[in-house]
Amino acid sequence: MDAIAFASVPNPSHAPFSSSSSSSLSASSSRVHRFSVRDPWRRRRRLPLPALRSQRPESAADKSASYHDVVVVGAGIIGLSIARHLLLHTPLSVAVADAAVPCTGATGAGQGYLWMSHRTPGSDTWELAVRSKQLWEELAAEVDGLGGGGARERLGWMRTGSLLVGRTSEEMATLEARTKALSQAGIRAECLSAASLQALEPELYVGHDGGAMFLPEDCQIDAFQTVSLIEKTNSSYSSEGRYMELYNDPAMSLLRSETTGTVEAVQTSKHILYGRKAIVIASGAWTRTLLHSFLEPNPILDIPVMPRKGHLLVLEKFDKLKLNHGLMELGYVGHQVAKSSSTPLPSETSEDKHGALSISMTATINTKGNLILGSSREFKGFSREVDTSIPKYIWDRAAEFFPTLKNVHLDISENTEIRIGHRPYMPDGKPVIGSVPDLPNVLIATGHEGSGLALALGTAEMVTDMILGNPGKVDFSPFSIKDRSSSVKLPLLSLSILWNI
């Protein structure tokens, strides 16, 4: 999704998205928990966006033109990291265009974990995950070397370690197998019984048959702090004429050469950005819709990336629960529906073809002392409305693992935030990274779902190698666009409808 996935303008009739208003959530239970829904985009405001199909854009002659080696469409963590890697490791110039501003999409709505606990050695994404984790470690060490608060201050970096938690003997058998596989792959991993786990997380309850897999080297970062650092790095090249960023300036079309048919430029609402070597589409869950718009009237490419909506509950300065590590229940790994006996979940709807709402427990505390609880998954198109029932489901699910929360009466109207994001979901569970068939200078980098932050630096390195024609440090082939086109009929809304203009 990165930034373009949240290009839509909030419906002013929806109070949760008014920066000056709040609403409380209640559930039909014996205890009423009140949540204040604060605007998750309050830190960054957007300008109104033009519709692509309902009005004619300015003619090319009316737009200012600029020339760059690479043009990146999308300023989420993937797009900004690609720009950063190109600027640091090549002499190429880069322009980044986006319909919004950084951290208003999936990037700013996540938990920020850089974990290996839910990775599978030997899978198509394993090498990319390992390489990306290595690059994050190197960046953190570099930032620490600069002083001034170091990686903790500038990245929100915390080596909390991660606990992948199970509560049954069957789940423990799975965790033991995963621990063995990760250890053989060179990852420090330990399987803990319920008693051993109690020493690490005294407030966590998994029952007598439960336990966890512990990865002490896993880390987490803060998306806003990290993106701010990357933006500063990229902007430092502006004075050399090597970097340009155009926010609140959505991409409208690709311009091709009349003689060769090669894509030469990206036309935005205000500019024409020529890309001499490459144009990279890193627009997350919006990539499919953008490509159809760009390639019309012959949309030969149909990459089935879809928006998978998620809610997170953020409790600011929360001191009712002591948490020493990042936690995730085993059900999260397989994107399973983790149904609670005390929390009935909504049934499947016609929009949710892939299954009912899924709630899986994840819990982290960031450098500011905020407790972040998740998470939900559902297919609801590009809807950004807060489902007032889901934060209650998240809270109840967390309380099954942390009984102390059952005794907490939530009345925190001034320090609660609900984050909404659209993970760019691919049915085969791996990103799409590579050139568009018949348009070799147009590359796509999308489909990271909930792993955009974790895989960003490895993806950026891979895209840079592709542009330069270098052999990759990670095998490109699993992420190729070839044979990844949609074999099913998926709904495709026009951008003018999705942007609510």
Quick one: average pLDDT of 306-324?
A: 93
Cβ-based neighbours of 113, under 8 Å, separated by 6 or more: 162, 218, 219, 220, 326, 328, 362, 364, 453, 454
Give 434-475 pLDDT, tens digit per residue. 999 888 899 999 999 999 999 999 999 999 999 999 999 999
Confidence (pLDDT) at 61: 56
Task: Look at residue 9 and tell me whether its pLDDT is greater than 70.
Answer: no
Whether the per-residue pLDDT at 490 is higher than 50: the answer is: no
Name 20's Cβ contacts closer than 8 Å, sequence gap at least 6. Answer: none
Answer whether residue 335 shows pLDDT above 60. no
Average pLDDT over residues 263-288: 95
Euclidean distance between CA atoms 6 and 104, whole angstroms: 6
Q: What is the mean pLDDT of residues 240-257?
A: 95
Q: Residue 206: what residue type?
A: V
The average confidence (pLDDT) of the chain is 82
Q: Is the pLDDT of residue 403 over 70?
A: yes
In the predicted structure, residue 239 carries a pLDDT above the cut 60: yes
Q: What is the pLDDT of residue 30?
A: 28
Site of tokens 């999260």: 332
Q: All domains of the chain, ordered by start, with CATH?
A: 15-44+159-219+306-425 (3.30.9.10), 60-110+224-304+428-498 (3.50.50.60)
Q: Is 477 exposed, middle or buried (0-12, 13-18, 19+ CB in 10 A)?
A: exposed
DSSP state of 340: B
Mean pLDDT of 236-263: 93
Q: What is the pLDDT of residues 89-98, one digit of tens each?
A: 999 999 999 9
pLDDT band at 260 (very low <50, low <70, confident <90, very high): confident
